[in-house]
Chains A and B, each alone.
Chain A
């Protein structure tokens, strides 16, 4: 749910990177953070548990254009991908304006991708959202790996509603901003409708 700060004339939007464990959600965020103008971003916060896993969220405000004279500030979050942390994932989806699903292209992780996609749908529903109506993009990450399966095959298994889909190598930044921009655009379109 978009939060409007009238005093600062800012519209705050929340975009969540979703996907199975180690699919590259944090790498996406890290890349965006590193390549963003220091004046335009806040602190990158990573909360981890004693198990050394990226567990809670990375937080990154970004300025990306204006809507009716209001600046838009995007807050980017990741969720913990391991199947264990379902409660945290559900919590982080609260108030979401857009979702980027990062899929791992490795054959061995296809089942985890499919599960995470269904889990996203379910957790959104539990929070009162419908994935069909939420601005959404699919990123096929780790395309450089030799064990990557065909993009067409991944799309066939993971595509939900004909969403914008991007091939990416988040480690080198390929496809990272394209994916973010596509969802940011969809979020802004939704805002302008309201």
Chain B
């Protein structure tokens, strides 16, 4: 930077990193006058605290089952506040009251109102114009040799059970483009999908060969102790099949385990209250 000496008016150059982090002293090469350079007074204004962003309200209307828990967990990760309902009527009342941003509803519901009725009710209500509705198909993973439904009863999107996480997130982001794309699995690739599938298969094998232990473990909270050997064996196999950079990034095996425990807890809770 160029500096003019206040005493002798000589102009000289000094190599100094800008902006200045603090006061810097330099000497004029002509008159040896000591000069002190100070950082410019800050013009930055401290921004006022941001008003708390209201969490988007999401409602899932479906029978209590692992798939509902899966959807709930996914939406929470995407920043939604999730409320669950088994039947249509209380859900509609709640949606009307809260103007929920998103309603995911099974086509078939117990009670007097089907999921398709609920979808039409929401879409016909001018107060709920901005509410997005996603229908859950009644068929199990009918993803092959099958055309999409022609009538969505007003709903914005349609999904089926076993929808991959990635696809589900894409649908939500299509409906809510402002939802952060980096909340979870920012670098999701085909490798990650394959790793996730492998983790599910390993876990599925562990479960089917150890049903009694699994149930006991979930009920009394000793799941990870009772199945320590099997989980460790499964993890070893997983690690031997999945490249380190994929498994390190995402902790896929652990996450699959956690999701399973959550779903199973919900399942057992349902059985015990039935």
Contacts and interface: CB of A to CB of B under 8 A. Distances in A.
B12 interface: no
Most chain-A Cβ atoms within 10 A of its Cβ — which of B144, B204, B207, B237? B204
B140 A83 contact: no
A25 to B, nearest CB: 13
A34 to B, nearest CB: 24
B200 to A, nearest CB: 6
A156 B144 contact: yes
Interface residues of B, number: 19
A149 B141 CA distance: 11
A98 interface: no
Interface size of A as a range = 20 to 34
A83 B144 contact: no
Contacts of A112: 201, 204-205
| B interface, over-half SS | helix
A150 B145 CA distance: 16
A167 B205 CA distance: 23
Interface string B11-33: 00000000000000000000000
Contacts of B197: 111, 115
B142 A21 contact: no
B133 interface: no
B202 interface: yes
A110 interface: yes
B209 interface: yes
Contact of A84 (B139, B144, B205, B207): B205
A82 interface: yes
Interface string B137-169: 001111011000000000000000010000000
Contact of B140 (A21, A81, A109, A153): A153
Interface string B181-214: 0000000000000000110111011011100000
Given A21-B209, A53-B209, A83-B198, 7 more contacts: A107-B140, A109-B208, A111-B197, A111-B200, A112-B201, A153-B139, A156-B142
